[in-house]
Amino acid sequence: MRIDVQHATADPAWSPALLTPAALTRFARAVEESGYGALAFTDHPAPSAAWVHADGEGTVDPFSALGFCAAVTSTVRLLTLVLVLGYRPPLATAHQAASLDALSGGRLLLGVGTGYLRSEFAALGVDFDRRRELFDEALVVLRPAFGGEDVPIPGGGGRATRPQPRPARPGGPPLWVHGNSRWGRERAARHGAGWIGVLTSDVLARTMRTAPLHRADLARVIEDLRERTVAAGRPADAVEAVVTGVWPLLDVREGWDAARLRDDAAALGAEGADRILLVVRGDDPAAAEDTVRALGEDLVRPLADV
């Protein structure tokens, strides 16, 4: 079982001090030194004021943040959690992702999703009702772009573009597809190296415009993912099952039952999960770093040794 962590800006009560160069350097290095598999940043370029005031999470441009983290680390993977494909032209996404993958030595994990904030789509001038269609259109472009192929320009009269640079790995960064619904699992099964499911209440699922995913249903949902992957002509284990929303914001100042966390992780593994992505409290940079390191001792390293 691998443990990944989202940056502490995911805490609605996050402190802007988290994003000073010194604080971000310390956080990223704590993640790497503590043995986490990946460090993640989310994608909200234009959240509504109402969403922010209603305890929406903090955000920073994921490519900028992960590029910074790549420069101050050497081994930890770099995860977009998740990049909303409809927010950007697909070729721009391919260029940014390939650049980060090349400059980080092949450490990018490209977590992708359709998005759910209608107001953010409106702010960016993108049709919210086409978000699934835009997602599929982007997938058509990303793979040939990452593979170094000429990509036809829509309406370009037969002209094509040759995206640069080439990613560090043949085929480009692995795609992790976020989506609790059957639609999301189908895309992960066909195109992904990972599937990201978030455990939700019914209320949270409605807020996120996704299918509810309760812990009691997780094993069945992951089995469905495996069956869809085989039906797509791939090995059943070709797609890693990544689960988030398992625990509330963790904080070393409040403590935790380390044995219970390890038992929870073991149970999730028995239900088919390959990775757990957790979030730490972000109201204080030093406490966030201490939490990451303490969880490394209590959870990340013990599970890595199993």
**DSSP states of 252-297 as a string?**
TTT---HHHHHHHHHHHHHTT--EEEEEB--S-HHHHHHHHHHHII
Among 271, 202, 205, which residue's Cα sits nearest to residue 243? Answer: 271
CATH no. of 2-304: 3.20.20.30
Q: Which segment of 29-33, 141-145, 188-192, 265-269 scores lowest on mean pLDDT?
A: 141-145
Mean pLDDT taken over the chain: 95
State residue 224's pLDDT score: 98
Q: Give 141-191 pLDDT, tens digit per residue.
A: 999 999 988 888 877 777 889 889 999 998 999 999 999 999 999 999 999
173's tokens:
């960064």
Query: What interhelical angle do 285-295 and 21-33 show, nearest 10?
Result: 10
Q: Which residues contact 104 (CB under 8 A, 6 or more apart)?
A: 66, 67, 70, 78, 168
Find the range with the poorest average confidence among 23-37, 100-114, 202-216. Answer: 202-216
Q: Where are the domains of the chain?
A: 2-304
Backbone angles phi, psi at 175, to 5 degrees: -95, 125
Q: What is the pTM of this model?
A: 0.96
Cβ atoms of 276 and 4 closer than 8 Å: yes
The tally of CA atoms less than 13 A away on the side-chain side of residue 231 is: 11
Burial state string for 59-69 with b = 16 or more CB within 10 A and e = fewer than 16: bbebbebbbbb
Q: Which has the minimum average pLDDT: 39-43, 160-164, 266-270?
A: 160-164
Report which secondary-structure segment, H or E, holds 194: strand 194-198
Give me the pLDDT at residue 7, please: 98
